[in-house]
Structure 1
Amino acid sequence: MVWQVTLVVERGDVWDVRLDRPAAANALSSGLVEALHEVLDQATVERPKALVLKGNQRHFAAGFDLTGLAGESDASLAHRFLRIGLLLEKLVAAPYLTVAVVEGSAFGAGADLVAACDHRLAGPDARFAFPGPRFGVVLGTARLRAIADPLVFLGGATVSAADAGGLVTGNPDDLPGILDAWSHIDPATRAALLAAARPVHDADAALAVLTRSVTTPGLHARLTAYRRRALPPRSHSEELS
């Protein structure tokens, strides 16, 4: 199955999940999104102490993968965005601690993956951007508003880790300490502690807003126009970042 080559997963007390599409800047293809769904579903059953989500030094994850855009339709694109929205909701409500470790770029839906995690650790070269409003897609906005000043990201501008405010909760060197502290918490109380510590979030409302945005006619045309404005031609991959 092609999904298996898009992720590297190390399972133990802590699951280490690394996005592995380096030639495509870890852009979120359908295969990568479904692979992440599969891993999160497995983790919900097996209940690791924590799940750590990583990319590589250049890219945590670019945004929505536009490779093959010409062959897509409004309906197929809407379905892909909804699958990403459901993935974010699984992270937001995960019954285990979630940590994103970002070195390099986290753009579009890739940045939304980061925002959905409990701890968001960013290196000095990390960069974030949320360009969805430029093409009329409302993805992860409620979660971002709960943890950071959305005005910082208004208009989809690229923002450094130093300027990202509440989106960033620490740096990658903090990971061992976070995991060690979490290991000393009684496993029976971890779920309750996570529920108390996480921002109040209405998953149904977030998915409803996303659904309305991606089912507005013309999604394909909006993405095509955005791509022409924002991205140079690419020889290997075209991702929405």
Structure 2
Amino acid sequence: MPRYRAIIAYDGTDFYGWQVQPGKRTVQGELEKAVNQMAKNPEIPIRVQGSGRTDAGVHALGQVVHFDLPYQIPANGVRKGLATMLPFDIGIEQVDIVADDFHAQYSAHTKTYRYQLSNREFRAPFRRNYTGYWPRRLDYDKMAQAIPDYLGEHDWISFAASGFQAKTTVRTVTDVKISQEPATQEITFEFTGTGFLYNQIRIMVGVLLEIGMGTRPVDDIPRLLAAKDRQQARLTAPASGLYLKSVDY
């Protein structure tokens, strides 16, 4: 059975996250519906494996998935066919035929997440689903000073929401970025790493917001990592600002 890798984007607003859930509309569920329709509904349903899960309301610019078809179809034909079957809030950018041992999750080296934050007092109605909203004044320089403290290999248990299922909470963050756009009063955070725990990015952003507001010291991130106590990293940024930007193999 040929294996296909696809790069997809989706607007997470109307999804209950990535993973299939009974009675819920999910990204994985919509993809599997389309892939099985393309394969003419085989006796054994085809599963679509993603590089990782995203939560309800979280978006993706470059989610990577793989699936096996019972017969070979040209990759561009698969892309065009799925594009006609998928709902408008899922876009399929690229499809390739890959080796049988490729795995969208386990073959990944790093993932990059972007968090987009609106720091305007005015809550723009047409951006509400695509940015986190934070009307309180933030000291950008303090956040820029603090964000490099996330770099390196750490135990991230202080930054993991309850309910995570990972075997280990140790992850390596290889790159961090922060930028601002004065014209729109939006701040962008980017984090690249070997993997991230449940809600980890949103909690990392929440800590930076507290630093920017002055309610947490600029040098507090190393202490939080050492504490290994979720209760000390208090704030979780809204899901609407989070995007899975890309996956590197």
Report the TM-score range of the alignment, normalised by the length of the smaller protein.
under 0.3
Between Structure 1 and Structure 2, which shows a larger proportion of strand residues? 2
Rg comparison, structure with higher value: 2
The normalised TM-score by structure 2 is: 0.24
The normalised TM-score by structure 1 is: 0.25
